[in-house]
Amino acid sequence: MLTLPSALARASLVHGARPAILDGDRAFSWREHVLRVARAAGALAAMGLTAGDRIGVISRNSREQCELFHAGYWSGIVPVPVNVRLAPREIAFVLADAGCRILAVDPALAALLESAELAPWRERSFLLGPTFDAQIDAALPVRSRDAGEDDDAILLYTGGTTGRAKGVRLTHRNIIANGLQVGLVLGLRQDDVYLHVAPMFHSADLLSTATTLAGGAHVYLPEFNPPAFLSAIARHRVSMTMLAPTMLIMVLSHPDMPKHDLSSLRIQVYGSAPMAEAWIRRAIEALPGAAVTQGYGLTETAPILSFFEHRDHVAAIARGDAARLRSAGKVLPGVDVRIVGDDGADLPAGGVGEVWVRGPNVTPGYLGAAEANAQALRDGWFVTGDVGCIDDEGFLTLLDRKKDMIVTGGENVYSAEVESALLEHPALAEAAVIGVPDPVYGEAVFAVLVPRPGMSASDEELIAHCRGHIGGYKIPRRFARVEALPKSALGKVLKSDLRTRFAGA
């Protein structure tokens, strides 16, 4: 069965004595872990929760959060992990919209319950950590529920920092199918150790499903910082992890990186955004034993759609093909993809249009959002909102989010292309390109820049630099310098925030 209870039961049966969870000095085998999951499910039942109920979770990455998620899968209770960076008002909206009956809270985040907006949840919450451990130890194990493949397994909220957050329903089939797809392409093994760095409230964490299916082990990093990341790899002999480009750059730039033994790392996935060629080269050089791989996906696809594999990185660098390095790679087995024009017709190879996908990993829809479902799900296809193209070798290249595309003087400008050109300049650490209102052209190309420490470049220098890389109509004529770009929990630049801030620029 393509269900999470089935996957956990198999892991206990087939990999029972092998490590499942590495937590500080403690190690739990798969047999021990699944028994704890069955007891945790009993603890949730003692709280009055039954199959179909939803439980909110506010937590940093942890072994306890994993046990809670798995207990939900085991018993049919749907976890609703909440972005810990949201304001109390936004958290309250998510919990209400999801119809959560109870709330689990990381002790380190318990102060959130002191806010007025979350006051109604104080009597309907419990703490993870030692409190939950004691509840697990006192509970009797329960048998797993015979879940259906199309039953909801988890509810993940996308958005929320601006506008109305939407609950993305992911089924057991969605999650297991993607785990199988990822495991097949990356070649996961039973001796792999996966380090959870991406927040567990984010769909990127589901990349770890492939490790569970292979019978590998899991390690949880509560909060990302380069020293903790490097120490965890060396200590637990981590073989696979996933980082946002911003995180990976921080690690590569850290002076202590050469002091740590990273020889166990064999798969380093980066995702949520492309990475500049210079940093790709540096990652490959600094991690000679690791397959540096870009992953593209969305919350709605559980989460991976395509991989740009290590060998493709190496081949593109060898022939100086910078355009290929901006590719998101090839779609996973079982995923169908179309590039659709404004008239709804499929475009030929090289044609630029909206990316539509379908496959067993694609969500059945958003919770209670009929209008959003009608827009996103069309005749069995999911409309990603990304603009891209596919070449005749099957490589998918993303040019922009459709909502981020800039139309200036009747010409389409893809912000990712402009950002890539800007980042070729040695004085820039980061760049985000947006459209701002212009009385003549409709929109003007505007660049928000983060200079490298101790370096600078004038507007005129940057314009001259860009002339050698992109067409004149794509070149920004207006710039702003900032200390940092606003970002999501996974390091994705929040361009909506920039458009609001610089609307009058």
CATH number of 405-501: 3.30.300.30
CA distance 322 to 305: 22
Beta-carbon count within 10 A of 48 CB = 9
> What's the pLDDT at 470?
87
Q: pTM of the entire structure?
A: 0.89
pLDDT tens readout for residues 351-409: 999 999 999 999 999 999 999 999 999 999 999 999 999 999 999 999 888 888 898 88
Per DSSP, which regions of 213-318 are E strands? 217-220, 240-243, 267-271, 291-297, 304-308
Distance CA 71, CA 422 (A): 47
Give the residue-averaged pLDDT of 427-452.
91
At 160, is the pLDDT very low, low, confident or very high (cuts 50, 70, 90)? very low
Boundaries of every domain in the chain: 405-501
pLDDT of residue 161: 38
The predicted-structure confidence for 242-283, as pLDDT tens digits, reads as follows: 998 889 989 999 999 999 999 999 999 998 777 888 899 999
Q: Are 70 and 9 in contact (CB under 8 A)?
A: no
Q: In this predicted structure, what is the pLDDT of residue 159?
A: 66
For 173-229, write each residue's pLDDT tens digit: 999 999 999 999 999 999 999 999 999 999 999 999 999 999 999 999 999 999 999
What's CA 24's distance to the chain center, in Å?
25
Q: Percentage of the chain with pLDDT > 90?
A: 83
pLDDT-based confidence at residue 488 (cuts at 50, 70, 90): confident
Place of tokens 């085998």: 29
Cα–Cα distance, 327 to 343 (Å, whole number): 25
Query: Rounded distance, CA 359 to CA 179, Å?
Result: 13
pLDDT at position 162 is 41
In degrees to the nearest 10, what's the CA dihedral of 205, 211, 216, 217?
0
pLDDT at residue 12, rounded to an integer: 98
Strand (E) or helix (H) holding 325: helix 322-325
Element (H, E) at 107: none
